Amino acid sequence: MRLRVAVLGAGSWGTTVATLASHNAPTILWARRPELAEEINAHHTNERYLPGFRLPHDLPATASVEEALSSADVLVMGVPSHGLRSVLKEAAAFIRPWVPVISLAKGLEEGSLLRMTQVIAEILPGHPVGVLTGPNLAVEIMSGYAAASVVAMEELSIAQELQDVFRTGLFRIYTNRDVVGCELGGALKNVIAIACGMGDGVGVGDNTRSAVIVRGLAELTRLSVAMGGSSQTLAGLAGMGDLVATCSSSKSRNHYVGEQLGKGRSISEITQEMHMVAEGVKTCRVVMELADRYGIDMPIAREVYGAVYEGRSALQAYRGLIRRRPGSEDDPG
């Protein structure tokens, strides 16, 4: 019997993952807004988040969490980090015991500083938890371009089962036991993507972007290792792969935020016009708290925080990095 999949969250990535899963398993997509669920069912489109794309006719949608979870064998959380806890609390009343829960959110919870899988384990104890992450731009995957991702879970046998749920001909799925490293790589790269966008906004050039990506990787690796992740993970799809895609693509929401900051716009103006979440905006504040807690030097992330929350301009942020005295490239601190 094929596993039945419920995806909670009908944003661009949640809808994309539901589309992928529907090729291999009966899948239902939960949308917070009833009118979006109606659009998906009647027209097989999601024009707000994936304009111009047709969704599978056998992918139903619902605005009822109970209906979505009533027979689910796998729960996929496609809700942004700031809304994850509240949706999980609603889901707790309807999810069956031991159903695996996979997070798609690439963020960290403000206040608690928890990773998304930690939030899931807190609200749904006893359920196997994991994360699906990698260099995955929703529009490209919906367009049929080849891509790869990672399912990270401590229970390797469950991760291997889930490979067959999400894998399609051009979408390759790898497994990894390093949930911490995979999850932090996906969250922290958004902060570096804002930095790269800021550079593009002020016109610093390709050499500078390359340096920011590589030194940004060093920063997120230092923090991830301090928190229990593996440096090898950060050199793979969930780290360097996701970092390069997000820092280089005009389709990246976080890169867009940085680019608009570089052009002199305020963060409130930028975020108010966006109808999709750029996780790096909130994550950079959490990253600074974690960096202080673990004693990790993260100069690029700190300059992004300054531009987002302290009123520093993108040009001032880059000048701050340039004035910083470089140390050894292999210095772990």
- Give the start-to-end residue ranges of the domains of the chain: 5-177, 187-323
What's the pTM? 0.93
User: Token pair of 147, please?
Assistant: 């891509």
Of 76-85, 125-134, 323-332, where does mean pLDDT reach its minimum?
Answer: 323-332
Confidence (pLDDT) at 273? 87
DSSP symbol at 330: T
Tens digit of pLDDT for each residue in 106-124?
999 999 999 999 999 999 9
Please check the confidence at residue 76 and state whether its pLDDT lies above 90. yes
Return the percentage of the chain with pLDDT > 70, whole number: 97
Helix/strand/coil for 301: helix
Q: Under CATH, domain 5-177 is a member of which superfamily?
A: NAD(P)-binding Rossmann-like Domain (3.40.50.720)
Mean pLDDT within 74-85: 96
DSSP symbol at 168: B
Where would I find the H helices in 115-173? 116-123, 138-142, 156-166
CATH number, domain 187-323: 1.10.1040.10
151/1: higher pLDDT: 151
- Among 180, 181, 214, smallest CA distance to 195 is for 214
Tens digit of pLDDT for each residue in 148-173?
999 999 999 999 999 999 999 899 99
Mean pLDDT within 61-67: 98
Confidence (pLDDT) at 317? 84
Confidence (pLDDT) at 194? 95
Mean pLDDT within 256-283: 88
Mean pLDDT score of the chain = 93
**Residue 229 near residue 181 (C-beta atoms within 8 A):** yes
Confidence (pLDDT) at 333? 45
Please check the confidence at residue 1 and state whether its pLDDT lies above 60. no
Confidence (pLDDT) at 120? 98
Confidence band of 324 (pLDDT split at 50, 70, 90): low
Confidence (pLDDT) at 280? 85
Tens digit of pLDDT for each residue in 29-38?
999 999 999 9
Confidence (pLDDT) at 328? 66
Beginning with the edge strand found earlier in the chain, give each strand of the sheet holding 101-103 in spatial order: 61-62, 27-30, 5-8, 74-77, 101-103, 129-133, 147-153, 171-176
What positions carry a catalytic annotation? 189
Those residues with Cβ within 8 angstroms of residue 21's Cβ, 6 or more apart along the chain or in another chain: 5, 7, 27, 76, 165, 166
Confidence band of 329 (pLDDT split at 50, 70, 90): low
Q: Per DSSP, what are the bridge partners of residue 5?
A: 27, 74
322/304: higher pLDDT: 304
Mean pLDDT within 190-207: 92
Confidence (pLDDT) at 315? 86
Mean pLDDT within 89-93: 97
Confidence (pLDDT) at 62? 98
Mean pLDDT within 28-57: 97
